Amino acid sequence: MFDLYIGNKNYSSWSLRPWLLMKHFAIPFTEHMVSVAGRDYNAALKPLSGNARVPCLHEDGFQVWESIAIAETLAERYAQMWPADARARARARSVSAEMHAGFAKLRTAMPMNLKLKLKGRPATPEVQRDIDRVIEIWSEARSQFATGNGPWLFGEFSVADAMFAPIVCRFNVYNVPLPPVAAAYRDAMLAHPAMLEWYAAALKETEAHAHYDQLADDYGGLR
């Protein structure tokens, strides 16, 4: 039996990834939510996760942390989480790892906060490079590997979609302009039943953190 420890749905972008993956593939798990108050090391989480951060997956008490490691662990049992075609699978792994390790400028400039709907503003050159790279990844995956096979990056839903789900949320919250292929993918992800479930739960949360919430003035106010 799996137990998944996650942070607040409104703020915890990393937690969304394994949660969405397990929901999509109908893998039973018990959800445990902990606060993500503060941005630094949180010793209170150490008993729940080896790196003292969420998400962390438990199976009979054994811990797996880091969203990419959780995804790989689950995919060992559910092979359909990666594309069946070898080249598509290799590319999906490449972009998933890139997402896990990169895009620091974008993450810092656009922290996760699903309760906001911002007008947006021109991105700095560093952030725009990250945005352009995401658009490039989405467009290449859709054109090279997904033609006629469904709305997701590689046709069928995969780990790659779960890894990019938080960026979809950020682009929506911060009103980032996208070209047609990327915009269509964003809209498909936002309409995913599990994404709708996550969003609905996030909007009901009452815990608030000022360092995540005070963003409206910086991004042109609320839509």
Q: How confident is the model at residue 181 (pLDDT cuts 50, 70, 90)?
A: very high
Res. 13: pLDDT tops 60: yes
Q: What percentage of residues in the chain have a pLDDT greater than 70? A: 93
Determine the Cα–Cα distance for residues 110 and 100; give it in Å rounded to an integer. Answer: 16
**How many structural domains compose the chain?**
2
Please report, for the domain that includes residue 124, its CATH number. Answer: 1.20.1050.10
Question: Does residue 30 sit in the same domain as residue 100?
Answer: no
Determine the Cα–Cα distance for residues 101 and 124; give it in Å rounded to an integer. Answer: 20
80 or 40, greater pLDDT: 80
Question: Does residue 182 sit in the same domain as residue 133?
Answer: yes
Q: How confident is the model at residue 126 (pLDDT cuts 50, 70, 90)?
A: very high
- The pLDDT assigned to 212 comes to 67
How do 56-59 and 2-6 pair as beta strands?
antiparallel
Rounded to two decimals, the pTM is 0.94
Tell me which of 75, 100, 115 is where a domain ends: 75
Per the structure, the complete domain to which residue 35 belongs is given by 2-75
Question: Does residue 86 sit in the same domain as residue 64?
Answer: no
Question: Does residue 43 sit in the same domain as residue 131?
Answer: no
Res. 41: pLDDT tops 90: no
Question: Does residue 86 sit in the same domain as residue 62?
Answer: no
